[in-house]
Amino acid sequence: MFKDEMLQAPSQPLPIALVGEAILKEHAIEVRDFDTALSQLAEQMALSMVAANGVGIAAPQVHSPLALFIMASRPNERYPDAPLMDPVVVVNPQILSASAELVSGEEGCLSVPGQRFSIWRHQTIVVRYQDLAGHWQQTELTGFIARIFQHEFDHLQGITLLERSQMPEQTVMAQAGNHQA
Ligand SMILES: [Zn+2]
């Protein structure tokens, strides 16, 4: 292969970190440089997400300590009404407020292959984050997109579905849910 071809070769999906790996337990680091390297990382994350058939991916899942993730909702078997959206890159996210209303739903995770968990999430959240240019965005998210945001936000706090599903509020809420069923 010629050198030019190698340089222009499309990037490959990155290996996905699996539960048990230290990077998934760490708090992510604030992004300060909105440079080409950050854009390239986001591009590779998007590629890895699509390759793994995911609807979201956080930087720690591709062994980066930075506080960013991608959400890309689309209708799927479990959430047929999920909206189809272009991937959104979310940098340095904050959850400003969250609805008291919680909804339970099944979630999987690229880092916890083959397992699904019933997880309670806020139905609606107001969030703030920076885009790849460093500009602050503020928006309200609801339903499946809010669920993806909360799942990926957890990753940036070092929390995977394994920890989340064991949290006391999940147990309490799950029991309450059963009583209603
Ligand atoms: Zn995940």
Q: Is residue 158 scored above 80 in pLDDT? A: yes
Spacing, Cα 154 to ligand 1 middle (Å): 8
Phi, psi dihedral angles at 11 (to 5 degrees): -65, 155
Spacing, Cα 160 to ligand 1 middle (Å): 6
Report DSSP letters for 13-74, one per residue: PPPPP-TT-GGGGSPPBPP---SHHHHHHHHHHHHHHHHTT-SEEEGGGGT--BSEEEE---
Spacing, Cα 162 to ligand 1 middle (Å): 10
Contact 86, 72 (CB under 8 A): yes
Q: What is the pLDDT of residue 39?
A: 96
Q: Which domains does the chain have, with CATH numbers?
A: 3-180 (3.90.45.10)
pTM of the model: 0.89
Tens digit of pLDDT for each residue in 128-149? 999 999 999 999 999 999 999 9
Task: Write out the binding residues for Fe cation.
Answer: 109, 151, 155
Spacing, Cα 81 to ligand 1 middle (Å): 20
Catalogue the active-site residues. 152
* 3-state class (DSSP) for residue 114: strand
Stated length of the chain: 181
